[in-house]
Structure 1
Amino acid sequence: MKKLETGIIGGAGYTAGELIRLLLNHNKVNLNFVYSTSNAGNKIYKIHQDLIGSTDLVFSSEINTEVDVLFLCLGHGNSKAFLEKNTFSENTKIIDLSNDFRLNKDEIFEGKTFVYGLPELNKEAIKKANYIANPGCFATAIQSALLPLAKAKVLKNDVHINAVTGATGAGTSLSATTHFTWRDNNFSHYKAFTHQHLGEINQTVNQLQSDFSSEINFMPNRGDFSRGIFATLYTKFEGSLEDAKKMYSEFYKEAAFTVVSDEEIHLKQVVNTNKCILHLHKHENKLLVTSIIDNLLKGASGQAVQNMNLMYGFEESEGLKLKANYF
Structure 2
Amino acid sequence: MIKAGIIGGAGYTAGELIRLLLNHEQTRIDFVFSTSNAGNKLYKVHQDLVGSTEMSFTNEINAHVDVLFLCLGHGNSTAFLNQHTFSENTKIIDLSNDFRLEANKIFNGKDFIYGLPELQKEVIAAANYIANPGCFATAIQLALLPLADANLISKDIHINAVTGATGAGTSLSKTTHFTWRDNNFSHYKAFTHQHLGEINQTLDQLQGDFDSEVHFMPNRGNFSRGIFATAYTTFNGTLEDAKSLYKNYYKNAAFTFVSDEDIHLKQVVNTNKCIIHLHKHNNKLLVTSIIDNLLKGASGQAIQNMNLAFGFNETEGLNLKANFF
Identify the residue that residue 109 of structure 2 maps to in structure 1: 111
Q: Helix, strand or coil for the counterpart of 2:275?
A: strand
Identify the residue that residue 315 of structure 2 maps to in structure 1: 317
Q: Helix, strand or coil for the counterpart of 1:298?
A: coil
The residue correspondences of 1:274-285 to structure 2 (distance < 5 A) are: 274-285=272-283
Which of 234, 237, 240 is equivalent to 1:236?
A: 234
The residue correspondences of 1:1-327 to structure 2 (distance < 5 A) are: 3-327=1-325
Q: Helix, strand or coil for the counterpart of 2:286?
A: strand
- State the alpha-carbon separation in 1 of the partners of residues 222 and 115 from structure 2: 29
Counterpart code for 2:35: T
Q: CA deviation at 1:137?
A: 0.1
- Supply the RMSD in Å over aligned alpha carbons: 0.4
- State the alpha-carbon separation in 2 of the partners of residues 9 and 69 from structure 1: 11
Q: Helix, strand or coil for the counterpart of 1:297?
A: coil
Q: CA deviation at 1:210?
A: 1.4
Q: CA deviation at 1:36?
A: 0.2
Aligned pair count? 325
- State the alpha-carbon separation in 1 of the partners of residues 132 and 222 from structure 2: 26
Q: 1:195-220 CA deviation, whole Å, 9 max, x = no partner?
A: 00000000001100011111100000
What's the TM-score, normalizing by structure 2? 1.00
- State the alpha-carbon separation in 2 of the partners of residues 91 and 32 from structure 1: 15
Q: 1:33-87 CA deviation, whole Å, 9 max, x = no partner?
A: 0000110000000000000000000001100000000000000000000000000
- State the alpha-carbon separation in 2 of the partners of residues 312 and 30 from structure 1: 14
Structure 2: 5+ residue stretches without partners: none
Counterpart code for 1:294: D
Structure 1: 5+ residue stretches without partners: none
What's the TM-score, normalizing by structure 1? 0.99
